[in-house]
């Protein structure tokens, strides 16, 4: 019940944050109504899960095990340029994450024969600071014989944010004799914080190819259904096995990388984004 209450409060806070771009736009007087302060972004990428399942026995900060801890993602983002280098935005991040362990121990990793797979949806608000600003090409450069590439830049930025995630998944484990396999469905809701960096390449006056890489940390320990109680949460399931290895050592977190299409949008006269400007 506490998780649901916290999630509702998070949604209310996010709704207020989602209105920030419009609120700032209403207060901003004097700028041109057809300026391009909004950016819409659609992206695809990969994610790497780091939690209790398939975690190493040693205290290493990052691990990546291809095909055992990786998943895929899609995201939609709307950003607003507050002033100069400062942007705010809201994003919808969704995808698939999974991790699985073998049934045999190795010197580095556990072999408990457990696994999970989950689809997740995350809603968040974020702030960006542009560390490398875009350099506009001017006609005089070409008249002096300079190439476009000499005057090109890759606008880059750092971002931080917070939001909430809900994932619906299935947890798997084997019996003590490792002959039977069991599973249980679960739902987890948690707040998340994130940070990372990104950049974009201009391909025409209003369109870019963007890229981002970052880190998300869930303020819970239930994305993989293994929590700090010392064992996977299989309450209500009579059959199964006992788990000798302790869980809860790792807080659930995941890295991501994605590539996206970014389009700048004109404002309507009421300072809201004009999505029709995507169709040229």
Task: Give the residue from 153, 175, 264, 169 showing the smallest Cα distance to 225.
Answer: 169
- Mean pLDDT (the chain) is 78
Q: Which domain holds residue 27?
A: 2-278
Average pLDDT in the 35-54 region?
90
Domain at 230, CATH number: 2.40.160.20
Check whether 198 has a pLDDT greater than 90.
yes
Q: Answer whether 80's CB lies under 8 Å from 41's CB.
A: no
Q: Count CA atoms within 13 Å of residue 82 on its CB side.
A: 15
Least confident of 27-36, 68-77, 253-262: 27-36
Query: How far, in Å, CA of 196 to CA of 215, rounded?
Result: 6
pLDDT score of 16:
52
Q: What is the residue whose two structure tokens read 């095990």? A: 65
Angle of CA points 239, 184, 235, to nearest 5°: 60
Q: In the structure, what pLDDT confidence band is assigned to residue 134 with cuts at 50, 70 and 90?
A: confident
pLDDT score of 24:
46
Q: In the structure, what pLDDT confidence band is assigned to residue 180 with cuts at 50, 70 and 90?
A: confident
More confident residue, 195 or 184: 195
Least confident of 135-144, 244-253, 259-268, 269-278: 135-144
pLDDT score of 133:
83
pLDDT score of 238:
47
Rank 122-126, 149-153, 244-248 by mean pLDDT and report only the highest.
122-126
CA distances from 23 to 28, 88, 91, 135, 257 (A): 9, 12, 18, 28, 31
Query: How far, in Å, CA of 116 to CA of 96, rounded?
Result: 11
* 210-254 per-position pLDDT tens digit: 999 999 999 888 899 887 554 566 655 545 555 555 565 677 899
Query: How far, in Å, CA of 80 to CA of 64, rounded?
Result: 34
Check whether 4 has a pLDDT greater than 80.
no
* 95-115 per-position pLDDT tens digit: 999 999 887 888 888 888 889
pLDDT score of 93:
94
Check whether 1 has a pLDDT greater than 50.
no
Q: What is the residue whose two structure tokens read 């109680």? A: 229
pLDDT score of 221:
82
Our count of domains for the chain comes to 1
Rank 1-10, 217-226, 269-278 by mean pLDDT and report only the highest.
217-226
Q: What is the residue whose two structure tokens read 């870019």? A: 208
């Amino acid at each position: 019940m506490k998780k649901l209450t916290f999630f509702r409060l998070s949604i209310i806070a996010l709704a207020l944050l989602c209105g920030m771009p419009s609120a700032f736009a209403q207060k901003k007087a004097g700028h041109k109504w057809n300026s391009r302060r909004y950016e819409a972004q659609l992206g695809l990428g990969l994610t790497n899960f780091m939690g209790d399942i398939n975690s190493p026995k040693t205290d290493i900060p990052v691990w990546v095990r291809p095909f055992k801890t990786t998943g895929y993602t899609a995201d939609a983002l709307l950003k607003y340029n507050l002033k100069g280098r400062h942007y705010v935005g809201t994003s919808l991040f969704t995808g698939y994450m999974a991790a699985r362990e073998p049934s045999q121990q190795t010197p580095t990793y556990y072999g408990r024969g457990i696994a999970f797979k989950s689809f997740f949806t995350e809603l968040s608000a974020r702030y960006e600071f542009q560390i490398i600003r875009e350099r506009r090409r001017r006609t005089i450069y070409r008249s002096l014989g300079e190439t476009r590439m000499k005057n090109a830049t890759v606008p880059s930025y750092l971002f931080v944010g917070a939001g909430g995630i809900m994932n619906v998944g299935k947890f798997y484990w084997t019996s003590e004799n490792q002959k039977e396999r069991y599973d249980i469905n679960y739902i987890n809701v948690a707040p998340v914080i994130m940070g990372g960096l990104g950049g974009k390449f201009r391909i025409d006056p209003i369109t870019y190819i963007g890229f981002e890489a970052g880190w998300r940390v869930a303020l819970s320990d239930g994305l993989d259904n293994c929590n700090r109680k010392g064992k996977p949460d299989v309450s209500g399931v009579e059959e199964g096995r006992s788990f000798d290895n302790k869980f809860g050592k790792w807080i659930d977190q995941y890295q991501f990388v994605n590539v996206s299409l970014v389009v700048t949008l004109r404002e309507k006269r009421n300072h809201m984004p004009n999505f029709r400007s995507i169709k040229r």
